[in-house]
A and B are shown apart, each in its own frame.
Chain A
């Protein structure tokens, strides 16, 4: 797109001598001025409206493409029937084909999926999204398997396909005599890599269980190093005359350098990013940018040295994430999440559309034998590779891979745009066109046939699906418990296994790394507590958003049922004094008013105003508020007859700062940063609290000191909130398959 547009701009610059940097009217008047100087009798009228397309041509076209892509995406989701059967990627390619056809019919030159555009602009967002939200636990648990599939599997595929294609080329009738071994191997290396974009696009929709997803997806990410090395290796060799053993050995060394180097570059940038985020507490607005820029720099830096950019990006995301998330505000976190999803979504859409367009536009050299054999060989090699490798891997795995698993892994080996772009990078020749045609055919085959049929096959084979429920706190407690238990048992057995090293790493992380990279109090916060805080915050926000605060009374009452009976045991729910309650009520009402005013003035820089970030429209918010006010008045008038009243508190959800740590020396307020959004923030919870209140009656009089009061009240409210998980999960994770 850019390459074909730039020459035209330059061309237009030359003859006219106009500088296009100025605006249209002054430029025209300048031109007009020149003209009046040169020819004295001619006087043009002052141009009121003029047309200057060339000036904005490039950004205009880019925007138009992106807009078109997004409209297409929108269209598919509006038509439910189609999108249930056909995966989105297929539809997008078809759209691309149509557009390509239209453009060709018009006679214009269609933009090709230029490799530079692809590798520098379209691919990084997708990989960053994948890497940042990579579920670490299943990934590390299955790391061995993933690596074996990625490295050994890709090598096997390359040599098998390359070798067999060479054999095919030797067949007399195919007119393929001109293809030598190295070219075949080069072709093999391009076509054998499983593509993360395609895998993501298809697997995201079938909601398969976590293990299989991470196997195929992890493989598609990690095989980039192998692909890069093999590609460059064979490309170099095909220009050289002889290949020695030394060269092959250098290739192996190169592989280690590329992969480990890529990971190191990514890790360094990740740590830098984490370190930077430690100091951003005063400029929250630019926090998300740091995440994106450091990651992109990691990618580019790796590409400079021909290291694996994808692995660098993944390493950066993985490294950065736990620390950055502990440091940045909740709003920034949401921004990061949504921007990443947005960019990766746009990129993916554009890639598939361009793939379609390039298919129509590109020069093709169709050779039946070559193409058919390529497709067949790719399938065969994939199946053989998976079966063979699983046989070996199962000897080392605790939980073995079943035949069903193997089938899905083999079937999920989709090829995609990376293969196409790599093919595009080849030097121009007749061979290149033939290769490109074959590559496109394989891509189409895998995406269309395999992509479309994988969903019914998953249903047919009754493969385990991803469990939809959210992580509950019980599960979290027991996961941690299990970790410690297994580590302990390993220690008793004297066996330095997986858990032992993980435990050591965690301790190292906590003792040294976290101290440097996480700001303030949060560095000492254990994981269970961060999880708990996060969970309660999520539920509170979901609660408010869905306006189901009416459920709270019923739920809170059940809290009573948990409390052990008997006079001897201390009651966990304190009652609140009447005066305090009045106080709280007053504050809450005041805040309610302030929110009403604040919603009207919204400016781009002023993030403090908006108390909610998850897509609450103003109308809905107002409606909720009205509802709340109605309930509030109801409760104020109706006398309550409950004995144990949960005390109510304003929870300070500052929009700028994540939930504060629990610190029992009464300093739970310490973690809060002073921010002038303090009152407006409490609106979020304020609305919640309004309806949970019951006009009280218990007479406990003395006003307590504020800090422990906060503590206990906080606990009470969180108890009620933990239960109030309203129906369908508001998909806060933005449609991603994994919990972030």
Chain B
């Protein structure tokens, strides 16, 4: 289960650091490895309001991050599902918004696309930029349809982010089958209350 895995990753210590996660062989192929690892250490993904990053995390924080990936149960009401979706989207948003200013700027978005394409061979930076630009434009046009010529679109806010990814139904997609479902849901539930 997760506790065992945590101990295995940390080498039987109480906390894990970035190096521990870095050394997982399977992650080497993953284009967004750095972002994923960073997400674990991001304070915003814990239940507080702090910002910044940890250097090491304990099992509680590890579990908290994992909580973002639990699936909806049959008994959930529509509001609970909505809240869960918000939570998951927030997690994604935090992954993109690296400077924690509350918006995803064009530069940040470009970086995201670049990283996504990083393992796929010699793709130029300009292509990634073009795609990111197009995506950004799309967000702008859907959310702020009538912009005057001298207005400036600062970046994707969380509302816009939600709006643009409404169709993906995050609560059904961003899930992992846990090896030990009950403990996790219990703990996540306990942490919220």
Give A contacts to B, CB under 8 Å: 394, 398-400, 402, 467, 469, 472-475, 477-482, 484-495, 497-498, 500, 503, 507, 510, 524, 526, 528-529, 532, 536, 555, 557-565, 572, 662-665, 711-712, 714-715, 718-719, 722-723
Contact = CB atoms under 8 A, between A and B. Distances in A.
A536 B130 CA distance: 11
Interface in B114-128: 116-117, 120-127
Contact of A475 (B8, B125, B168): B168
Closest 6 CB pairs of A and B: A664-B124, A526-B120, A491-B26, A715-B130, A488-B36, A722-B134
B132 to A, nearest CB: 8
Nearest to B62: A492
Contacts of A500: 26
B133 interface: yes
Given A473-B138, A484-B30, A479 B74 contact: no
Interface string B82-122: 00000000001001000000000111000011001100111
Nearest to B172: A399
A572 B129 contact: yes
Interface of A is mostly: helix
5 contacts: A473-B131, A485-B95, A529-B131, A558-B140, A561-B151
A723 B141 CA distance: 7
A740 B126 CA distance: 28
A662 B123 contact: yes
A555 B189 CA distance: 47
Interface string B37-81: 000100000000000000000000000001001011110000000
Contacts of A489: 36, 66, 69, 176
A474 B117 contact: no
Contacts of A665: 124
Contacts of B33: 488
B170 to A, nearest CB: 8
A558 B137 contact: yes
B149 A718 contact: no
B164 A494 contact: no
A656 B165 CA distance: 35
Question: Which residue of A472, A503, A714 has the most chain B CB atoms within 10 A of its CB atom?
Answer: A472
A473 B106 contact: no
Contact of B123 (A473, A487, A529): A529
B32 A488 contact: yes
A528 B74 contact: no
A475 B32 CA distance: 17
A191 B117 CA distance: 51
A722 B176 CA distance: 33
Nearest to A481: B116
Contact of B2 (A486, A493, A662): A493
A481 B114 CA distance: 11
Contacts of B177: 398, 495, 497-498
Contact of A564 (B27, B105, B138): B105
Given A478-B165, A494-B5, A572-B133, A472 B30 contact: no
B138 A472 contact: yes
Interface in B143-169: 147, 149, 151-153, 164-165, 167-168
Contacts of B107: 564
A475 B117 contact: no
Nearest to A479: B168
A561 B30 contact: no
Given A526-B123, A712-B126, A723-B141, A477 B176 contact: no
A562 B106 CA distance: 8
B117 A715 contact: no
Nearest to B2: A493
Contacts of B71: 398-399
Given A495-B177, A561-B147, 8 more contacts: A473-B131, A484-B32, A493-B2, A524-B120, A532-B131, A559-B137, A561-B153, A572-B129
A526 B117 contact: yes
B188 interface: no
A475 B135 CA distance: 9
B186 interface: no
Contact of B116 (A484, A488, A558, A715): A484
B13 interface: no
A402 B178 CA distance: 21
Contacts of A722: 134, 137-138
A473 B147 contact: no
A719 B123 CA distance: 19
A664 B122 CA distance: 8
Interface in B167-188: 167-168, 172-179
B29 A507 contact: yes
Given A398-B71, A478-B165, A664-B127, A555 B117 contact: no
